[in-house]
Structure 1
Amino acid sequence: MSGIWGRAQQQDFRGRVRGCLLGGAIGDALGAAIEFESLDAIRAAHGPGGVTDYVTAYGRPGAVTDDTQMTMFTVEGLIRAHVRRDAGGWHPPTDVHRAYLRWAATQAEWGPDERKKDSGWLAREEWLYARRAPGRACLAGLGDDRMGTLAEPKNPQSKGCGTVMRSAPFGLLVGWEPELVFQLAVECAAQTHGHPTGYLAAGAFAVIVHALAHAEPLEAAVQRTLALLAVHPGHEETSEALRRALGAVRQGLPTPERVESLGEGWTAEEALAIGVYCALVAEDARHGLLLAVNHSGDSDSTGSICGNLLGVQHGETALPPGWVVGIEGRGTLLELADDFAMEMTQAATVNSTAAWLERYPAR
């Protein structure tokens, strides 16, 4: 997209950002109560069709997990990176890492620390101070202040899906070239997961989202991502998983059993493949999201990834209204989405205001 945004472009982009964050949160919430259940157990508890609506988890229907929490802090880190760029500082991996440390604090502390004046508004949202089965590698990687890098990554043997499920926001950097989006997502994934599959799958997901944000078809986006991946050492598992997702589309009607042929979603490449497959075969958002969570595996993460893809592809209006209304933290998600869209399209206007700098401190 060009540097000059027309009103129609701004509205389209805002709808895609909202759709990406809300869709991911809805998929996350649909899978939250069943992520550790087998498909047989899901069907026994919820009927032959499995889960068809929010099921109570963490004390309420529509509750989100660490997937949505970390995605939100990715967004916040990217906004603050752009604010710092306009204030004279620019190193996005550092800003995202600081945002992830703020998320880690929500997993260890009872509530916001009002003494931290530079924490920004998101870290003051009390409802985010809740542990929702956070991944061990994410917690360990953010257990101290040292930032993992590609040269010295945290948890070098880890390739869990905790990298992919938080990386959709990198793809919303529509003014960036795909290669730079990929690189940033990879560098930020290495802050917690150092296995090449862990961080390359995150980069691949970000590039797919980036293409969808530019209104490219999903299959074309995956094919272009495969070409980008091919030059990176250690890409084989991620590339093969994406090729299997494309192949599964041509093997017949989508079923939970076909989803399970792609894996269980605990690892980065399997979660990415399942999310991509379900988005490719989705008749609509409801169908795709339910397909993405009703399987034996990491249902909330695969649902989240699928929801990110469907939301950015079709915009917020394509999401089932009842699910949108019922999602935990909807107001915060919409506020964050609109702030991101404003920062990306109207930075020159907002970054000079005291209110914006209080929300997103440039330090």
Structure 2
Amino acid sequence: MAAPLTPKQGGPSSAVWGRAEQQDFRSRVRGTLIGAALGDALGAPLAELSLEEVRAAHGPQGLTDLAPAYGRRGAVTAATQQALFTVDGLIRAQVRRDTGAWHPPTDVHRAYLRWAATQRDWGPDERRKEDGWLAREEWLYSRRGPSRDCLLGLGNDVMGTLDKPKNVAAAGSAAAARSAPFGLLVGWEPQLVFQLAAECAVQTHGAPAAYLCAGAYAVVVHGLARGESLDGAVQRVLVLLAARPGHQPVTDALKHALGAVRQGMPSAARVDELVGDGLAEGVLAVAVYCALVGEDIRHGLCLAVNHGGPSEATGALCGGLLGALHGETALPPGWVTELEGRPTVLELADDFAMEMTQGPALHSPAASSPGWLARYPRA
């Protein structure tokens, strides 16, 4: 496996990528986004069920295969919807950089507002060319259990910041569940990835543990996308967390997850204990633990969703980690074929990989591809 490039802060598009590096990066981008969506879809039928209810519905082993949710197998939730708009916002930030404007949190916030429109509109407005292609995907115009914090935080155009976060008491995992794409900015330094993910998390989740979990998760994905081990990526996160006010719940949860690995065979009871009250730090702990102890991707994802907490979130986070670690081809093919919106996810993943590796060939201050700007308008 080729070692991914690690260009300077300006981003991967400023580097020369070899063919092998491009292929490896594309596989990890696809793996991350599809893996997160698969985990989300696997956990969706178990949302709001206790462990006892999960076993009563699916047997003593719990859920071991995709099951119907929202009227079909492989249906995704708001976690995947928002992750896709995160990618859209990051691409748009790169495109808008040609104009001299460079503030990715603003572009991601605008993307989240486009997602919020899908939750209240009947369908896409073809007249709004500035929305780009993703906002015209009709299948996204469906409410799939969005958290109240996300709907409230994006209920107006005001953008939350670290100084003035939205929903200061919001401590859930929805912000972390959409944050894997930040980790795919492999040309950025880890502390900048952390900062960006946290700045975008506070647009809906203002509790320190919630936005620090988003930053921590993004940095773990970042390490995996750059070819690091999962344990090494977590150790890096613990160092970065130590300098952040309010980090202790997140630090303790990650250390708890690492300690649990050494406590014998994995079990649903141990996962249920790690998830605790289902807040962001518990969800992150479960994702890391299951990615570490899973015998393979399928086993890791099943372990991640069979508990009494927010199964779609733990599945999404664990799937993003496993996809970034192993790449697209390691994902269970039978599940991938049933995944709702798979063509959209793959198209967006390939656009992101293209932008990050070949951006200057697609657009510049002097000349740009009209087709690319139609997909990702600068407006």
- For 2:294, the equivalent position in structure 1 comes to 282
- For 1:142, the equivalent position in structure 2 comes to 154
1:304 equivalent to 2:320? Answer: no
- For 2:65, the equivalent position in structure 1 comes to 53
- Matched letter for residue 74 of structure 2: G
Q: 2:370 aligns with which of 351, 354, 363?
A: 354
Q: Matched residues in 1 for 2:174 and 2:306: separation?
A: 19
Larger CA deviation: 96-105 vs 32-41: 32-41
Q: 1:9 aligns with which of 21, 32, 55?
A: 21
Q: Matched residues in 2 for 1:153 and 1:293: separation?
A: 30
- Give yes or no for contact 2:28–2:328 (8 Å, CA) kept in 1: yes
1:123 equivalent to 2:139? Answer: no
- For 1:180, the equivalent position in structure 2 comes to 192
Q: Matched residues in 2 for 1:149 and 1:162: separation?
A: 17
Once the two structures are TM-superposed, the CA of residue 264 in structure 1 deviates from its matched residue by 4.3
> What TM-score do the two structures reach when normalised by structure 2?
0.95
- Matched letter for residue 95 of structure 1: D
Once the two structures are TM-superposed, the CA of residue 286 in structure 1 deviates from its matched residue by 0.3
- Matched letter for residue 180 of structure 1: L
> What TM-score do the two structures reach when normalised by structure 1?
0.99
- Matched letter for residue 148 of structure 2: R
Q: Matched residues in 2 for 1:141 and 1:318: separation?
A: 36
Q: Matched residues in 2 for 1:177 and 1:154: separation?
A: 26
Once the two structures are TM-superposed, the CA of residue 266 in structure 1 deviates from its matched residue by 2.7
**Residue-by-residue CA offset, 1:9-63 (whole Å, 9 max, x unaligned):** 0000000000000000000000101111111111111111111111111010000
Once the two structures are TM-superposed, the CA of residue 304 in structure 1 deviates from its matched residue by 0.5
- Matched letter for residue 328 of structure 2: E
Aligned with 1:163: secondary structure?
Answer: helix
- Give yes or no for contact 1:30–1:53 (8 Å, CA) kept in 2: yes
Q: Matched residues in 2 for 1:17 and 1:162: separation?
A: 20
Distance 1:84 1:264, change over 3 A: same
Aligned with 1:33: secondary structure?
Answer: helix
- Matched letter for residue 300 of structure 1: E
Unaligned runs of 5+ in 2: 1-5, 8-14
Aligned with 2:130: secondary structure?
Answer: coil
1:163 equivalent to 2:151? Answer: no
Show the 5 A alignment for 1:196-275. Answer: 196-264=208-276, 266-275=278-287
**Residue-by-residue CA offset, 1:141-199 (whole Å, 9 max, x unaligned):** 00000000011110011111011100000000001011110000010001011111111
Once the two structures are TM-superposed, the CA of residue 88 in structure 1 deviates from its matched residue by 2.2
1:332 equivalent to 2:344? Answer: yes
Larger CA deviation: 264-273 vs 290-299: 264-273
Q: Matched residues in 1 for 2:345 and 2:29: separation?
A: 10
- Give yes or no for contact 2:95–2:376 (8 Å, CA) kept in 1: yes
Once the two structures are TM-superposed, the CA of residue 265 in structure 1 deviates from its matched residue by 6.4
Distance 1:36 1:144, change over 3 A: same
Larger CA deviation: 228-237 vs 33-42: 33-42
Q: Matched residues in 2 for 1:233 and 1:118: separation?
A: 38
Q: Matched residues in 2 for 1:306 and 1:265: separation?
A: 18
- Matched letter for residue 113 of structure 2: L
Runs of 4+ that moved beyond 3 A = none
1:68 equivalent to 2:80? Answer: yes
Q: Matched residues in 2 for 1:264 and 1:131: separation?
A: 27
- Matched letter for residue 16 of structure 1: R
- For 2:115, the equivalent position in structure 1 comes to 103
Q: Percent identity?
A: 66
How many pairs does the alignment contain? 363
- For 1:94, the equivalent position in structure 2 comes to 106
- Give yes or no for contact 2:201–2:214 (8 Å, CA) kept in 1: yes
Unaligned runs of 5+ in 1: none
Once the two structures are TM-superposed, the CA of residue 203 in structure 1 deviates from its matched residue by 0.4
Q: Matched residues in 2 for 1:87 and 1:175: separation?
A: 21
- Give yes or no for contact 2:51–2:272 (8 Å, CA) kept in 1: no
- Matched letter for residue 185 of structure 2: L
RMSD of aligned Cα (Å): 0.8
- Give yes or no for contact 1:265–1:302 (8 Å, CA) kept in 2: no
- Give yes or no for contact 1:161–1:265 (8 Å, CA) kept in 2: no
- Give yes or no for contact 1:96–1:188 (8 Å, CA) kept in 2: yes
Aligned with 1:286: secondary structure?
Answer: helix
